[in-house]
Each structure stands twice: as structure tokens, then as C-alpha cells.
Amino acid sequence: MGPREAYRYWTAIPTRFSDNDMLGHINNVVYFRFFETVVVQFLIEQASLNWQTDPIVPFAIDIRCRFCRPLAYPAAVDAGLVIGTLGTSSVRYDIALHAAGDQAAAAVGHFVHVYVDRQTERPVPIPAPIRAVYERFLAP
């Protein structure tokens, strides 16, 4: 994955001067923060998820990133997301990061959530309203 047209949800993420490392590009660990940012933004905007009060919440269980080309401050990042896999209690978000306006991805990867009961922290089915959102953003 990686071409812009493969992703169904987009958000812009500003970079900060402190994101750069001593080599003058965004530090590798910051890419994982960008992955989390696009997932959280998607859930807030599209699914109205409330981590503080919802009885069923997503736990991150797997995050992977393949670096393709460096990003650097002050360029903004365009973060694209599509639902790659939708299970009973889990969802895999496929993600691409692009320098603002670039066609080629700077990084691609995925972020996996498992939905759990807040009290027991045991997996439970994804709530129907959230599942409906995921289905709208499923990869073809």
C-alpha cells in the first residue's frame, strides 16, 4: 500500500522542530506517534469514541512501520488510513504517511486495536455503531 488513492480517510499532522533528530529528519519513533494520531483522530471524528467513559475501549496490540523516505520539519504530514482487516473484536488500520502534497509515501504500516471490556480487559465484539464506521472505510 502507499498510493494516496488506496486510503479512505485523511488528516494533516503538523510537525514540530523537536521531531527532527540530529540528522535533520523526523526521528523514527515519531512516525509511530503519527500512526497513533491518525487512528485517534479517525475514531474521534468518525466513531465518536470516548476513551474516558466508554465501557468498551480499544487496546493497541501491534504497530508496524516501513520507512520509505525521510520526512523533516517544517513539512506537514498527510496521514491516510483505510481499514485493512475487520474481525470480531479486532481491527487493523492500514496507514500511509506522506509529506504534504507528495504522491509517494514516506512510510507505510499498520496499527491494530482489540476491543476490550474496560473492567475485565478481556476481548469483546466491536460495538455495532463503531463496526458500521469501520465498514464504511474498509479497503476494497
Given a cut of 60, is residue 1 above it in pLDDT? no
Query: How many structural domains is the chain composed of?
Result: 1
Mean pLDDT of the chain, nearest integer: 94
On whether the CB atoms of residues 35 and 109 are closer than 8 A, the answer is: yes
Predicted local distance difference test score (pLDDT) of residue 111? 97
pLDDT tens-digit profile of 60-79? 999 999 999 999 999 899 99
Polymer length in residues for the chain: 140
Residue corresponding to grid cell 488510513 = 81
Give pLDDT tens digits for 89-134: 999 999 999 999 889 999 999 999 999 999 999 999 999 999 999 9
Judge contact between 93 and 42, C-beta under 8 A: yes
The model's pTM is: 0.94
CATH number at residue 94: 3.10.129.10
- Quote the DSSP letter at residue 126: P
Range of the domain at 54: 4-136
